[in-house]
Structure 1
Amino acid sequence: MNKSRVEAFNDAVIAIILTIMVLEFKTPNSLQLSALTPQFPYLISYAIGYLFIGTAWYNHHFIFSKTKVLSKRIYWANNFWLFATSFIPVATSWVGKGINARGPETFYSLVYLLWFLSYSILSRTIVSENYRHGHQDVALNIKNTTVHQLTIHWYSWLILVIAMILSIIFLPALQMAVITVQILINAVNTPKDADSLFESN
């Protein structure tokens, strides 16, 4: 299977997702700056969603650049990851209409957990396939990334789920803060060789 074609498909889907998200930000009819005030909740939601996708793409691009194998198992795990990611614009838009409402915030939590699961499956599959084909160094490199470590340990899931449930019960908007903190952890703790890898590409 041609890796560059799959990567091009990934980039196209991500570009469409980002385009859909920004198009939800409506141009005000008024020429007053205050006309943006009603859209402020969506602006917050959009900023978090953009950070989410930007961080997800960076880590996803890293593991795809590293892998020496692209099997059918990886292909379908990657499709599941794209499927989960494609829900972000819907969740972002709904939260923007009610940033402290339980319905939208619960849905955003479910979308994030689905994405978390899909990334875990994808990174585990890439690791196992590279091990299986004798590329232990690649498998270990991907296995040691922060995102992989966060998604494979049960306590990461437990902390995330408890934090989301508590925030949705007591202050729904707080769960966006919980998600943002985890996204920032993934954004800051990128692999040490990531920048040099991208420069060589």
Structure 2
Amino acid sequence: MEAFSDGVLAIIITIMVLEFKVPEDHDWGALVELGPKILSYIFSFVYVGIYWNNHHHLLHMVRNMSGRLMWLNLLLLFWLSLVPFTTAWMGESHFAGTPTALYGIILMLAAFAYWLLQRAIIKQHTSDSAFVMAVGRDIKGKISPFLYLIAILTAYVSPWISGFFFVLVAVIWFVPDKRIEHALRSR
């Protein structure tokens, strides 16, 4: 499941970069015109990288592979596979309200799918395991949907405000989940 997921995430990143068209002009100004597309790509590249990193750590906590886990993993990959579309639309539209809000909705649904996958893996462990105890205080997971909701709602007010909340969630998750790393070491 991990190798399949890694492949899908690599394809998602590849699709995003293929959205770039080479400018016809041959000066730096041509790249300035691509600014919104480049910025939306950077957002999404970082997000996909964060999911890849945290997903990698999470899958190391799987004790028994099951059909349920495989389907929950596919649900996560489904939402992440929509990131290239929303990334392109957001960049093309120069962060217009609806594309930016949809970007946030997709990220929030991916976060929900990640949470479902995490819950299913938690059920494979005893309630006193280091993994369950560490993840049980899931402050990142509890605050992220709230921040995504703010980003979605503010997308129609200002793309800068919305972008701030996207960046804030990314910063929160940028460092791999130390709780899971600690639980892996204590196995």
Same fold (TM over 0.5): yes
Show structure 2 runs of 5+ residues with no match: none
Distance in 1 between residues matched to 2:74 and 2:122, nearest whole Å: 17
What is the percentage of aligned positions where both structures have the same residue? 29
Which residue identity lines up with residue 80 of structure 2 in the other structure? T
Match of 2:149 among 133, 146, 161: 161
The whole-number CA distance in structure 2 between the counterparts of 1:60 and 1:7 is 8
Contact kept in structure 1, 2:36 and 2:95, CA below 8 Å: no
User: Per-residue CA shift, 1:145-191, capped at 9, x if unaligned?
Assistant: 8xx4433x3x65345413531x2232134212211111111113631
Q: What amino acid is aligned across from residue 24 of structure 2 in structure 1?
A: N
Runs (4+) off by over 4 Å: none
Corresponding residue of 2:83:
88
Q: CA deviation at 1:135?
A: 8.7
Q: What's 1:128 paired with?
A: 123
Q: How does 1:97-176 map to 2 (within 5 A)?
A: 97-131=92-126, 136-141=129-134, 143=135, 148-151=138-141, 153=142, 156-165=144-153, 167-176=154-163
- Displacement of 1:58 after TM fit? 0.5
Alignment length (residue pairs): 184
In structure 2, distance between residues paired with 1:52 and 1:74: 22
Retained in 2: the 8 A contact 1:43–1:96?
A: yes
Measure the CA separation in 2 of the matches of 1:169 and 1:158: 17
Instruction: Please state whether the residue corresponding to 2:34 is helix, strand or coil.
Output: helix
Cα deviation code 1:51-75 (max 9, x no counterpart): 1011111000001122222222111
Task: Specify which structure has the higher proportion of helix.
Answer: 1
Q: How does the TM-score come out when normalised to structure 1?
A: 0.81
Q: Give the CA deviation at 1:140.
A: 3.4
CA deviation vs aligned residue, 1:113-154 (integer Å, no higher than 9, x gap): 1111111111111111334xx89334334x158xx4433x3x
